[in-house]
Amino acid sequence: MTELPHGCRVAVIRLRSLGDCVLTTPALDIWKRARPDLHFAVVVEDRWRELFGGNPDVDALLHPEVRELRAWRPHLCLNLHGGNASARLTVLSGARWRAGFAHYRWQALYNICIPRAQEILGEERPVHTAEHLASAVFYLGAPRTGIPRAKLFAAPAGGRPSGAYAVIHPFASAPDKTWHAGRFLACARFLRESLDLQPLFIAGAGQDLSPFAPYPAIAGAPLDEVKSLLAGASLFLGNDSGPAHIAAAFGVPVVAIFGGSDPAIWGPWRTPSEVVRSAAGIRAVSEQQVMEALGRMRVHA
C-alpha cells in the first residue's frame, strides 16, 4: 500500500479475548518502533482494556462503538479480529484505508486485503499467533524484524506472597483444555516441597476454587492485579489459557498443559517454557509428566 502520511491515525480493532489481546502487543511494538510518528488506538471491549494499560505504543483505547471510533478520525482501520462486529466497525470507521486479512468474511468491505501470514513471512508452516498478527504490520509497511515478546505493564501488587511463589491457573475455556483438579493439587505439593515455591491459585469470577482450599487462592481479581501477581511470580503452571500468555509477556517461566490446541500456534511466546500434552488428550497427561517439566525449568526459591 501507499506509505502512510506522517502523523496519521491508525485504529486497530482487537475486540477480545485475553490471549489475542496480549499477542497483539508485539505487532504494535514493531509498528511504533518503525513509525514513531503514527498514533495508534486500540478498539477493545471493556473487560480487556487493562491489558493495554500503560503501554506507550497505544495513544488511545476506544470502546467498540461506531461514534467513538469515527470521532477519533482514523486514516487506517486495521481489523485484527475478523468477526461480524469488527467488520461493521471497520466499514463504518470513516477511515480512508480499511485493512483485514483476505480470509476474513466480508472481504468486499476492505480496500486492503492482507495475504496469509505464511505468504508474507515466506514460510509454509504453522505460524504462531504473534507471528500472524505481526505479519499484518509487515504487509502494511513495517520493516521485517524479529517479533518481540508481548508487551504488558504492571504495578507492584500489595497482595503478593512474601516469598518466592508459583502461580497456578487450573481453568480453561473448555473441558478438553482443562486438566484434572486433583493433578494440579499434586503439582502444587511438588512445587512447595521440592522447589520451595509457594503455590498461589488464580481463577476468574465465578470459577470454583474450593478444590484448591489448602493453598492461597484469588478469584475474580481485576486484570491489573492479575498482571501484577504474574509479573512477580517465579513460575507459572496452567492450562492453555490467557494467563499463560500474560506470564510469558513478563518473561516468567511457563509450564503449559495442552489439549487439542496446537502449541505451534498458541504456545507461550518468547519465554522459557515447556508444553506438556498427550496424543490421547489432556486427561491423559500424567502428574509425572508435568512434575518433570516443572523440574526442568530449574526454578527454585
Segments of the chain scoring below 70 in pLDDT: 1-2, 157-159, 301
What angle separates helix 181-194 from helix 287-296, to the nearest 10 degrees?
40
Query: Is the distance from CB of 190 to CB of 294 less than 8 angstroms?
Result: yes
Gyration radius of the chain's alpha carbons = 20
Q: Where in the chain is the domain with CATH 3.40.50.2000?
A: 9-139, 165-296
Phi-psi bin for 298: left (phi > 0), alpha (psi -120 to 50), beta? left
Strand order in the sheet with 165-169: 217-219, 198-203, 165-169, 235-239, 254-257, 273-276
Grid cell in block for residue 294: 516443572
Cα 162 to Cα 156, 166, 190, 198, 232, distances in angstroms: 13, 12, 19, 9, 11
> Which DSSP symbol is given to 270?
S
Q: What is the pLDDT of residues 108-154, one digit of tens each?
A: 889 999 999 999 999 999 999 999 999 999 999 999 999 999 999 99
CATH number 3.40.50.2300 given to 165-296? no
The whole model's pTM is what?
0.96
Q: Give, in words, the CATH class of 9-139.
A: alpha beta
Q: What pLDDT does residue 136 have?
A: 97
Q: What pLDDT does residue 129 have?
A: 98
> Which DSSP symbol is given to 2?
P
Q: What pLDDT does residue 160 have?
A: 73
* Alpha-helix runs per DSSP H in 168-216: 181-194
Strand order in the sheet with 76-79: 60-62, 39-43, 9-13, 76-79, 97-101, 112-114
Query: Is the distance from CB of 17 to CB of 82 less than 8 angstroms?
Result: no
CA 65 to chain centre: 23
Q: What pLDDT does residue 300 have?
A: 78
Q: What pLDDT does residue 2 have?
A: 53
